Structure 1
């Protein structure tokens, strides 16, 4: 926009533009909420899913792994293949894929169809996350980018608090297939909201696969991806098995564990916004604090978590810290490659989802081989690795 054009914009025009920009940010937040809820939905539905599809719970659990791995691989490919297409059109197309994937999961007569459906969910999830992550900067004024980015990523934190429990509750009331139908309906509503509320968003530049590989050679981007790998792997190595850990350490029953996880989730939402503000000023300092707090909390839980009150405090602190991981690491990545935000975001989403799968795998191996509480020590050690990487690697300049 030229200076003359800027000077001729009336306050009413500027106000309408701001309202539409923030409306688009809210739609993107609902988008991230929907894709993460869709990805994680099987967590609370494994037993009825396995019974209905006639597979063991361990095999049914692969539906989560499949979606995560597909998202990890597909997000960089989708950014490259979509070229210069309008990002509003691409987001709507990916939400349509998510609708089909969730409906396919609801209909699945056997495990093979379920796998295909979860592949579609992984494609939709990886693409929406990669694109949405870098759009806040294009929708709001520069002074509001940090808050808008936090709002987009709040969808991820809120999904862990409301999305998965709501899906589990729907499954208990109407059957596990109804939970996937509900997810499909939500994805359709978000598709319509994105189409209506987002402005045209032409791609800033095409991102060929070779360009993505060159981005990984950027020292700041590479350090950010290493930090993501350590902290997310550590978190999911521990969090995947948090229920049996709490049962073993504190003797918590099902009701108490539900309360502790709710406390964790609510703290995570708060952590998202607190860390978003901090990361806008200094991603390195924010992630150093997050990694150190996570390491200390995970190390302490098996030692002093015998009391439900102490366990609750530690779960709240853990949630507060991890709730800021997504927005802080994404801020690091975007600040490291401002000229190639979508390409950098696609690498970020790939590493993030790969780390989720790796963390669950490593945690399972350690739990089976050493004991369930050992997963907390593993998570703490990997969080320390994140601190070391953030402290010694190249970081973007402070804001």
Structure 2
């Protein structure tokens, strides 16, 4: 494509983004505030361990306990909120997050800090489920994937901007500053939601029985299995990103931080790009996701000693990695389109379960064979993902692709 033609194409796409309802971007900011709260704790763990006189592994429960709570309770909390007005539910979740982070500032023991950390995790899936359903319902059906991709862009922005920002303020001003930032973002998102997101309800009232009935669908369990494997295969290595770069590529300190930033920016742009095609080319995108990551991991395994090659591969890796969230959501939601909010809650639950298992497998791989072998472990999991994907049930209503 010639330069002037590319610029014209880019301008047209930006115009389409501007045509998105402003409420979609407000919901994306809410997602940004929640993901910053969830993962921002990573950069604070050493300070929290020292402040509360616990080991770093014990402090790690502030992250692991959060994810485990989501994995276990996600679908059932969404069902419990299914009869409430959606804007009220979203506002309540953000208020609970903000309040819990404020109360954490006054905790004198680690047990209380963990309690106020776990409390909002119960409500986390409610926000994601309703926000994604709301985003897709405010645009024409052919643009629903693009609207959802903007919500996921908020997730990516949380890892690109939110996590480093929290790490910086907590290192500079103490762990309390990190919690003040959490509460501030949650509060700002709450105010924006109250001002700019209209009240809305589900397109049709669904009984608990109707929603749970989708669990009888084989295609839903297939899509959940694919989602679980996508998350496990990607987080098997990504959870140990810094460790792998230090051991295999000799990158440490500021260089690792720079690579995390590059990875996050690439993921942010990759998610937005995938959102333009996911509604029409889901099948191709899933296949491309698996093939490109397999090739990238194979190359990074063989070329880890060549720094320029590693940087280029990290950009490709980051661009593809973050699209896994969007692809998984589209598969699950398309397999249970008659109960989209319950389907989204299953997506959140199984996604967190896959993340947890992938991190565990990565840790076992490091213990048995060293960090250098992490790309090979991810390739094996991606191969299993491909096998399950191509074994999809014949009845694939709602799962489109070309």
1:389 aligns with 388
Conserved in 1, the CA contact under 8 Å of 2:160 and 2:261? yes
* Matching of residue 174 in structure 1 with residue 173 in structure 2: yes
* 2-structure distance, mates of 1:59, 1:300: 36
Tell me the TM-score normalized by structure 2: 0.90
Is the contact made by 1:75 and 1:130 (CA closer than 8 Å) also made in structure 2? no
Question: Quick check: 1:106–1:178 contact (8 Å CA) kept in 2?
Answer: no
**Alpha-carbon distance in structure 2 between the residues aligned to 1:21 and 1:200:** 17
Could you tell me how far apart the structure 1 residues matched to 2:317 and 2:20 are?
33
Deviations 1:198-240 (A, max 9, x none): 2121133455555454323323322221111111112112111
Q: How many residue pairs are counted as aligned between the two chains? A: 382
When residues 76 and 209 of structure 1 are mapped into structure 2, their CA distance, relative to the original with a 3 A threshold, is farther
Superposition TM-score, scaled by structure 1 size: 0.90
Q: Aligned residue for 1:69?
A: 68
Q: Which residue of 2 aligns with 1:398?
A: 401
Q: How does 1:214-233 map to 2 (within 5 A)?
A: 214-233=213-232
2:139 aligns with 140
> For residues 393 and 192 of structure 1, do their structure 2 counterparts lie closer, same or farther at Cα, with a shift above 3 Å needed?
same
CA distance in 1: counterparts of 2:215 and 2:86, whole angstroms: 23
Quote the Cα distance in structure 1 between the aligned partners of 2:213 and 2:281. 25
Deviates further, 365-374 or 207-216: 207-216
CA contact (8 A) 1:207 1:343 kept: no
Per the TM alignment, residue 178 of structure 1 is displaced from its structure 2 partner at its CA by 0.8
Write out per-residue CA displacement over residues 165-185 of structure 1, whole angstroms, 9 at most, x where no aligned residue. 011011112111211111111
- Tell me whether 1:276 sits opposite 2:275 in the alignment: yes
- Of stretches 72-81 and 226-235 in structure 1, the one that deviates more from structure 2 is 72-81
What is the alpha-carbon root mean square deviation over aligned residues? 2.0
Instruction: Tell me if structure 2 keeps the 8 A contact 1:76–1:212.
Output: no
Alignment of 1:182-261 (within 5 A): 182-206=181-205, 210-261=209-260
SS in 2 for 1:34: helix
Q: Secondary structure at the match of 2:276?
A: helix
Instruction: State the 4+ residue runs in structure 1 displaced beyond 4 angstroms.
Output: 18-21, 205-213
Equivalence for 1:13: none
| Distance change >3 Å, CA 217–CA 284, structure 1 → 2 | farther
Cα drift, residue 88 of structure 1: 0.5
CA distance, structure 1, for counterparts of residue 137 and residue 241 of structure 2: 38
Q: Deviations over 1:105-142 (max 9, x none)?
A: 33332210121112123123222112212211221233
- Answer yes or no: is the 8 Å Cα contact 2:365–2:374 preserved in 1: yes
Q: Closer, same or farther in 2 for the Cα pair 1:397/1:170, shift >3 Å?
A: same
How far did residue 65 of structure 1 move?
0.7
1:35–1:355: structure 2 CA closer, same or farther, 3 Å change rule? same
Per-residue displacement from partner, 1:267-300 (whole Å, max 9, x unpaired)? 1011101222221112222111112212222233
Whether 2:30 is the aligned partner of 1:27: answer no
SS in 2 for 1:85: coil
The offset of 1:351, in angstroms, is: 0.3
Report the Cα offset of residue 29 of structure 1.
Answer: 0.4
After superposition, the C-alpha distances for 1:333-383 in whole angstroms (9 at most, x for unaligned) are 222222210011111111011112222222112212221222222222112
**Which residues of structure 1 form unaligned runs of 5+?**
1-17
3-state SS in 1 of match to 2:338: helix
Q: Matches of residues 110-125 of structure 1 in structure 2 within 5 Å? A: 110-125=109-124
Aligned CA distance change for structure 1 residues 373 and 205 (closer, same or farther; 3 Å):
farther
Distance 1:255 1:21, change over 3 A: closer
Which sections of structure 2, spanning at least 5 residues, go unmatched? 1-16
- The aligned residue for residue 54 of structure 1 is 53
Pairing 1:248-397 to 2, within 5 Å after superposition? 248-394=247-393, 395=396, 396-397=399-400
How far residue 154 of structure 1 moved from its aligned partner, in angstroms, is 0.5
Secondary structure in 1 aligned to 2:123?
helix
